Copies of this chain bind each other. A is one copy, B any other.
Amino acid sequence: MKTRVTIKDIARQLNLSHATVSRALNRSDDPFISVATRERVRKTAEEMNYQPNHAARALVTGKTGIITMWLWSEGRQGSYHARVSQFMQAQLEPEPYQLIIDLMSYKSLGFGKEKLMSPWAVDGIIAHEADPVLSKLNGDSAIFPIPIVSMGAYQLMYTQDLVGVDIRPGSDAAMDHLILGGRKRIAYLTDDLPHRVTDARYVAYTVKMEEAGFPTEFIPLENPLRAVVRTKMREYLESHQPPEAIFCHNDDMAIAAYRALCDLGIRCPDDVALVGCDGIEDTEYLETPITTIVQPMERMCELAWEYLSRRMKDPSTPIQQTWLPAKLEIRESSMS
């Protein structure tokens, strides 16, 4: 039964106290330790292949070195979530922190509060579009001592560190673009009933349609999975006269819709224009690149981490907030 080497082993080897070893290994600033000793300790630690026990360290310091990202992923995660995960991971890679991604959904909300949290007392939380969680936890003293930065397009609580993405202007622009392009029958494709009223895309759609005097038309989805959207879309197109344009809740749906159009030989953008939202890479690689509202995902992750680490270092930092614009990028799928 081999057991990992501890600072005590090193201390014994060197005829020092384990406290000295601890100081030598950590606090590289501490002047109260001789250079010689520090070197000796470092060297033997290396030789003995010493690996600090983080559980022990965490126990005494109260710091785990773990950051959680709450990722709202009702149903399956789509490409957008994958990208955000990757950007956040990249952000943390050079840092002395580990990222744990906690998938959140309405189902998780059903559990008790403790189930919402990583069992580890994390040092900080990045809450990505996890507003339902924040609301549920609202003011919970057991959680809110942990620094939290909220990010993404859905933001209800403005009383905290925040990297918001404002998709309203982009959504408005998208609608204007479609309407100016002469499209009248514009449908809206979504699975996201619960969020509708707070969703800027939805609001932009309804307002602009109202303004233009066009009736709204919803294509509802019970599920955001590409395969499901494709089938559903195909069914819809077969049973209805195709609309002149479809404003899709996100790019995954837009791509699925695109494919459904292909399946039926309906031309995009000639017959049906398509607009998505998020700005995932895939929309650019289709034969007909899809117009979309591009979220600045990388910048969002970068800023969120900046805010979070600042808050962790100094809890008294004034509240930090930014709204980043999501910009419409017009591509072939919506040209007239």
Residues of A within 8 A of B (CB): 2, 4, 49, 51-56, 58-59, 64-66, 76-77, 79, 81-83, 85-86, 89-90, 93, 96, 98-101, 103, 113-114, 117-121, 141-142, 145, 226, 230, 255-256, 258-259, 262, 281-282, 284-288
The reply to whether B98 and A120 contact each other, CB–CB distance below 8 Å, is yes
The reply to whether A53 and B98 contact each other, CB–CB distance below 8 Å, is no
CB distance from A125 to the nearest CB of B (A): 14
Q: Knowing A282-B282, A287-B286, say if A55 contacts B64 (CB, 8 Å).
A: yes
A-B pairs with beta carbons under 8 Å apart, 25 shown: A2-B145, A49-B113, A49-B114, A49-B142, A52-B119, A54-B119, A55-B55, A76-B90, A77-B89, A79-B79, A79-B82, A81-B86, A82-B83, A90-B103, A93-B103, A98-B119, A98-B120, A100-B100, A226-B281, A230-B285, A256-B285, A258-B285, A262-B287, A285-B286, A287-B287
The interface residues of chain B lying within 8 Å CB-to-CB of A288 are 287
Nearest to A255 among chain B residues (CB) is: B285
Q: Knowing A100-B99, A226-B281, say if A114 contacts B51 (CB, 8 Å).
A: yes
The reply to whether B141 and A2 contact each other, CB–CB distance below 8 Å, is yes
Contact of A59 among B59, B118, B119 (CB under 8 A): B59
Give complex CA distance A142, B6 in Å.
12
The interface residues of chain B lying within 8 Å CB-to-CB of A4 are 121, 142
The reply to whether B121 and A55 contact each other, CB–CB distance below 8 Å, is yes
13 further contact pairs, Cβ within 8 A, besides A98-B118, A282-B285 = A2-B141, A4-B142, A51-B114, A52-B119, A54-B119, A55-B55, A79-B79, A85-B85, A89-B101, A99-B100, A230-B285, A259-B285, A285-B286
Q: Knowing A89-B103, A99-B100, A101-B99, say if A285 contacts B118 (CB, 8 Å).
A: no
* Main SS at interface, chain A: mixed
Nearest to A281 among chain B residues (CB) is: B226
The reply to whether A285 and B142 contact each other, CB–CB distance below 8 Å, is no
Q: Knowing A93-B103, A287-B286, say if A65 contacts B2 (CB, 8 Å).
A: no
The interface residues of chain B lying within 8 Å CB-to-CB of A82 are 79, 82-83, 85-86
The reply to whether B54 and A121 contact each other, CB–CB distance below 8 Å, is yes
The interface residues of chain B lying within 8 Å CB-to-CB of A120 are 54-55, 66, 98
The interface residues of chain B lying within 8 Å CB-to-CB of A121 are 4, 51, 53-55
Give complex CA distance A141, B101 in Å.
30
Nearest to A96 among chain B residues (CB) is: B119
Give complex CA distance A113, B118 in Å.
27
The reply to whether B2 and A51 contact each other, CB–CB distance below 8 Å, is no
CB distance from A60 to the nearest CB of B (A): 9
The reply to whether B77 and A86 contact each other, CB–CB distance below 8 Å, is yes
The interface residues of chain B lying within 8 Å CB-to-CB of A287 are 258, 262, 286-288
The interface residues of chain B lying within 8 Å CB-to-CB of A99 are 100-101
The reply to whether B59 and A56 contact each other, CB–CB distance below 8 Å, is yes
Give complex CA distance A99, B55 in Å.
16
Give complex CA distance A256, B284 in Å.
10
The interface residues of chain B lying within 8 Å CB-to-CB of A262 are 287
The interface residues of chain B lying within 8 Å CB-to-CB of A258 are 285, 287
